[in-house]
Amino acid sequence: MSGGRRRTGQRVGGALLALVLLTGCGGGGGAGAASDAAPSTAPGVGVVTTAADGVQEITLQTQDDYVFLPAAFTVDPGTVRLTVVNVAEEMTHNLEFDEGQGPEPIDAGISLLAPGEEKTIEFTVTEPGVHPFTCTFHTQLGQVGTMTVRG
């Protein structure tokens, strides 16, 4: 009987150790991830710059949640080079401009962005106004954003 109790105690101890280890690992990517989102954002994310070729460039970031960082940005009329970096460890995302929702159609989009991937699209905008975009995988969870073109 004491051997059975020892094995049961070892199983319970092992289960508790596993729980503690999993909780410790989860702390860095779970509740802590939301509070660490700003420090873990790559330098330059969300900043519109002008490249040597005159194209406006901006980088957005996605991660293991349902947001774009930033969720809104503003550009001037002209050519835009938009890069999306997926720093997620598990979640796949995409970025599509909402058809018929902006002042002009934007046919460019990123259909699939796996964890750790980065993709760039280039397009031209001429009409001032708000162009909504979304991760179509997570629209119902609120992963949406807007690009505003100045007038």
pLDDT band at 3 (very low <50, low <70, confident <90, very high): low
User: What's the pTM?
Assistant: 0.73
Q: Give residue-wise pLDDT tens across range 94-134.
A: 999 999 999 999 999 999 999 999 999 999 999 999 999 99
The pLDDT tens digits of the residues spanning 11-42 come to: 444 443 333 333 333 333 333 334 344 436 77
The answer to whether residues 149 and 106 touch, using CB atoms and an 8 Å cutoff, is: no
Tens-place pLDDT, residues 50-62: 999 999 999 999 9
Concatenating the DSSP letter of every residue in 44-107 gives TTT--EE-TTS-EEEEEEE-SSS--BSSEEEE-SEEEEEEEEE--SS--EEEEE-TTTSSS---
Strands across the sheet containing 109-113: 72-75, 144-149, 129-134, 93-97, 109-113
| pLDDT score of 117 | 96
Three-class SS of residue 1? coil
- What is the predicted pLDDT for the residue at 2? 52
